[in-house]
Amino acid sequence: MRTPALAAGVRFRRAADGSAVLLIPEGVVSLNGSAAAVLELVDGRRTVGEIAEDLTRRYEADPAQMQADVAELLAQMSSKMWVVWAPENERQP
Amino acid sequence: MSAPYRPLSLLAELTYRCNLQCPYCYNPLDLRAYRRELDAATWCRVLDEAADLGVLQVHFSGGEPTLRPEECVALVRRARERGMYSNLITQGTFLTDDLLDRLLDAGLDHIQISVQAPHAELADQIAGARVHQRKIEALTRVARRPVALTLNCVLHRHNIDQVEDVIALAERVGVRRVELANAQLYGWAYRNRLALLPTREQVERARDRVREAARRLAGRMEITHVLADYYEPYPKPCMNGWGQMFLTVAPDGRVFPCPAAAAITTLRFESVTEKPLAWIWHESESFNAYRGVGWMPEPCRSCERREVDWGGCRCQAFLLTGDAGLTDPACSKSPLHALVTRITEAITAAPQPAELIPRRM
């Protein structure tokens, strides 16, 4: 299972009012609730599966559906170069 | 009425001093008037006030900001402490490993380094100094660090035919973000407009080449291409609207809705040395002058694009017409659009561009 990390120069920030943004080089991306929930868990240690499991528990969602949604969102973020895939050997226990 | 406006982004111009003489600089012509610069303590207060206003991103620029290295490090640290994202916009000639270490330790998120052209001879000629090789070294060193890096090249008549080589240079040094920005015609660039503006043919050829490269490099390199508004049907939505998302603090402490606004002599701009930033943002006459759509004349007022383009750029309207409250003449719907087409036609007809005047203090 692959491990996502925020790319260098990309930061997640949640404001006091609960709204969340991704801070990227020279820009601010507003995040909807589900994107924020996923990105908040991207830390370079949790795998895609672990993030999906966490969210499945929290939202009492269908595990297979959640797995697919999380993978798709992270793939999109990766194509924009906001998310990178951490090498397996750099994973922490 | 001013309550909903919140700035997301602050451009902090630490100094207008620079060791280069790029003729496309958008800094004001009267650079000497900005010799008295805000000190570090005042800048820290400005960052605190900006964070309180809701600013999320700070761009440290100039002039050349790293001519004040101690301030750069201290202010990047303060921005990080206040949760703000920091960008350093530099030409890279002073970016030693030691300064880089300290900036990254302070929490710098992104560095943008400019090159004047892809090859040394033309690049050094435009910069007015032999610096190209040092810039390449800086790019190479930064590319290995855990920080976002953008290679920026300002495009104009003399280098726009080399866009592919700029992209190839970025690939070679391992840069993943490239910004190719047609010169914005303000300050020194406005003075040099007849020497800088490319021909329509050059602009279109460059657009095709950049598009092709962006397709080829998708997922590996992000390429931003800022077009020349003189050749576009609609004006650029300058700053996403006057006083709506963006503010600039100049080296002397004056606060502008747009980095080029000092040219608008019909407005008085307040300084952070005299007024709180929040008051300037919400209450000052200058920030409210062209906010929203209420100020708009025709054809903007009834235009379906009024909240897309926001009337274009106030500074450009002032430079070209003497009235910052008119539709940006870059818009094809402007009754004064001929002020722009007259220039583009002259460019296309002239066999040789006008002579470049280097930026000097």
Contact B269, B256 (CB under 8 A): yes
- For A25, the closest of B9, B110, B218 (CB atoms) is B110
Contact A81 B110 (CB under 8 A): no
pLDDT band at A17; cut points 50, 70, 90: confident
pLDDT digits (tens, 9 = 90+) for B53-98: 999 999 999 999 999 999 999 999 999 999 999 999 999 999 999 9
Query: Which fold does the domain A3-82 belong to in CATH?
Result: Arc Repressor Mutant, subunit A (1.10.10)
pLDDT digits (tens, 9 = 90+) for B282-324: 999 999 999 999 999 999 999 999 999 999 999 999 999 999 9
Contact A11 B57 (CB under 8 A): no
From the list A88, A83, A45, A70, the residue with the least C-alpha distance to B219 is A83
- A27 in reach of chain B (CB within 8 A): yes
- For B110, the closest of A13, A26, A79 (CB atoms) is A26
pLDDT band at A88; cut points 50, 70, 90: low
Please state the pTM of the whole predicted model: 0.94
- A10 in reach of chain B (CB within 8 A): yes
Minimum CA–CA partner of B59 in chain A:
A26
State the ipTM, two decimals.
0.88
* Dist. CA B338–CA B147, nearest whole Å: 45
- For B87, the closest of A7, A25, A79 (CB atoms) is A25
Secondary structure letter of residue B159 according to DSSP: T
pLDDT band at B189; cut points 50, 70, 90: very high
* Dist. CA B162–CA B205, nearest whole Å: 11
Query: Could you state, in order of their start, the residue ranges of all structural domains in chain A?
Result: 3-82
**Signed CA dihedral, B212, B218, B220, B223: sign only:** positive
| Burial state string for A15-51 with b = 16 or more CB within 10 A and e = fewer than 16 | eeeeebbbbbbbeeeebeeebbbbbebbeeebebeeb
Region for B221 from its dihedrals, namely left if φ exceeds 0, alpha if ψ lies in -120 to 50, beta otherwise: beta
Strands B9-13 and A11-14: unpaired
pLDDT band at B215; cut points 50, 70, 90: very high
pLDDT digits (tens, 9 = 90+) for B245-263: 999 999 999 999 999 999 9
* Dist. CA B229–CA B182, nearest whole Å: 9
Quote the longest CA-to-CA distance of chain A: 38
